[in-house]
Each structure stands twice: as C-alpha cells, then as structure tokens.
Amino acid sequence: GDLPDPLGSLVFLQNHSSMVPAELLAPTSEHTVLDMCAAPGGKASHVISVVRRGLPRGGDLNDAEFLKASRFRMVCCERSPSRSRQLRALLEKHHGSGLVGACVEVLTRDANKLVGTNTFDRILLDPPCSGTGLRPRLRPHDHAVEFVRDCAEYQRKLIRSACSMLASGGRMTYSTCSLASMENEANVAEALVESQGQLQIAVATRDDPKWAAFDQLAVKNHSFEGMPEGSVAWCWTFGPKMASTHPLLDSVGFFVALIDRR
C-alpha cells in the first residue's frame, strides 16, 4: 500500500524483480530512452535514478546541474488518460517538475503509434499481461487460455514496434508479471527469429558478478538458439521462493529479458 508522508514522498516500494529491468537496461546520461507502457511509473522513475547515479556527484546534483551535465531524454507512453496523469504526477513527485518537464515527455497514446517517428538507444517494454505471477493470482487455471493468447498477441505487436524503433547498437528489456511461457520466452524467441539476425539475446559468462547477482535471485535462467557456446543469457524468470529461509529472495512471478540490436 501507500506509505505515509513524508516517507511516501521519498520512497516507492517495488518488488526486487521489478527493479531488474532498469538495472539491466543501464541507461546513461547520453541516451534517449523509451518506456512503452510506462504507468504507473515505478520503472520509469527507476530509469531516471539509474541515469543520475551514473553521473559524478549524481545524487547531489540539483536539477540545473543535472540538465547541464546530461543529454538524457526519455519518452513515456501510456494510452489511458487517467493513468498517464498518474504517471506524470509520480515522476514529478520523485524527480521534480522542472527536471521532468525538461527531459521527459509523457505521451497519452499507444506506443505502437510511435513507429517511424523516432529511434531510441534504450527501450523498456513492460506490456499489459495476464498477471498470472501476481499474488494472490498465482492460479494459472483461473485464466482462460484464450485470454493469455490475446495478451501474447498484443505483446508481440509491441515487441515488433520496439524492434523497429531501437537504434543500431541499442538495447531493450522485455518483461512481464506473467508465468505463461507464451507471454515470455516464446515471445522473445519469436522476436529473435523474425528479426533475421538483427536482434540477439544479450549474453554473459557465469563468472560475471552482475549476472551472478541477478541469477541468485531468480528461479530459472533461460537459454535460446544461437547463443555462443559457454555463454548464459540475461534472461530470467523470478518467482516465490522459501520465504521462511530466504526472505530476501521471495518475489512475485516475473520474467525479464535483455535484447541487443546489431
């Protein structure tokens, strides 16, 4: 629930798995970023925080200093007018209306309609999904297969749009709070095939400390055809663990993949 002020003005609660996309995306002050389905705004706010953290004295910079030191720009899409207003309000609450007004554009539209207008260095796509990973909805049999298929079809449209807007050498994250493979690894695998080599799953080695840190929190690491021998993917499913013995590792059901464009 909401935190009481003044704490609620300073802190935004997120499950640890929901914070993985912005950390994997690793945006910098030189990047243009698109958040395709941005409301309620927690991940978008986290993106701005990651950018600020990467600057010298990032946490101590005022708005004018941040804007002078940064070429960062971000576009946030939300097709619902009411949720778009809530999104802007949350970003301004966390980062100030001056900074948000100068470097963040909040658009009330379907992100699919942006195709052909811009390219972006980084794209965060956390689309509408079946929500089968959310408590207390960890009951896949309560969801009609047709509903999950409809979700997956709309997600694929968004992935295709994201791919067309991702700049060469750019990166995108794709994430859902679903446990259905057709919304998750199946969608990613199809996008890789459709791209005819333009897209590839981001890979690491098991001794990469950042990869290992995320892997410790996850339930499953996924692999895809065409990965280099001995590599591991930046792609996981997170989920409930034994809260009594590993309380910090407990999570809602959540999927995330990091994808590179050649």
pLDDT at 242 over 60: no
* Residues 96, 61 contacting (CB under 8 angstroms): no
Q: Which residues contact 79 (CB under 8 A, 6 or more apart)?
A: 108, 109, 110, 111
Average pLDDT, the chain: 90
* Residues 232, 211 contacting (CB under 8 angstroms): yes
* Residues 128, 37 contacting (CB under 8 angstroms): yes
Nearest residue to 119 (alpha-carbon basis) of 166, 175, 61: 166
Q: For the chain, where are the alpha helices, taking DSSP H only? A: 7-10, 20-25, 42-53, 63-69, 81-95, 97-103, 145-165, 185-194, 209-217
Q: Residue 8's pLDDT is what?
A: 58
**pLDDT tens-place string over residues 27-67:** 999 999 999 999 999 999 999 999 999 998 877 888 889 98
Give the type of residue at 195. Answer: S
The pTM for the full model equals 0.92
DSSP structural state of residue 2: P
> With bands split at pLDDT 50, 70 and 90, how would you rate the model's confidence at 244?
low
Nearest residue to 219 (alpha-carbon basis) of 42, 16, 23: 16
**pLDDT tens-place string over residues 108-121:** 999 999 988 789 99
